[in-house]
Amino acid sequence: MIALPLPDAVVVLLALHLGLLLAASVFYALRRFRWTPRRRATPFLFRCSVCGHVYLDRRNVPMAECGKCGHMNESVKGL
Ligand SMILES: [Zn+2]
């Protein structure tokens, strides 16, 4: 083992710990940039039978309310 005087050993241990903290912070900072968002749910297409308004809804529901007239409409198809 390398014999170091006590102040030098403290400085070396401090530098090692600071280096570990720097490496961990760089690792987590770079990992955040590689994160990709999850794919969103496929929207469902609705066409209003009263006013003809075409709209999308991402919820998996059998009927959705028209944004213009408020009539409930069935899904035409999923995109
Ligand atoms: Zn409508």
Phi, psi (deg, nearest 5) at residue 64? -135, 150
pLDDT of residue 19: 97
- Could you list the pLDDT tens digit for every one of the 79 residues in the chain? 777 788 888 999 999 999 999 999 999 888 877 766 667 778 899 999 999 999 999 888 889 999 999 999 999 875 5
Cα(56) to centroid of ligand 1, in Å? 13
In this structure, which residues have their CB less than 5 angstroms from ion ligand 1? 48, 50-51, 53, 66, 68-69, 71
Query: Pairing mode, if any, of strands 44-47 and 72-78?
Result: antiparallel
pLDDT of residue 79: 57
- Quote the pTM value: 0.47
pLDDT of residue 36: 67
Helices (H), the chain: 6-34
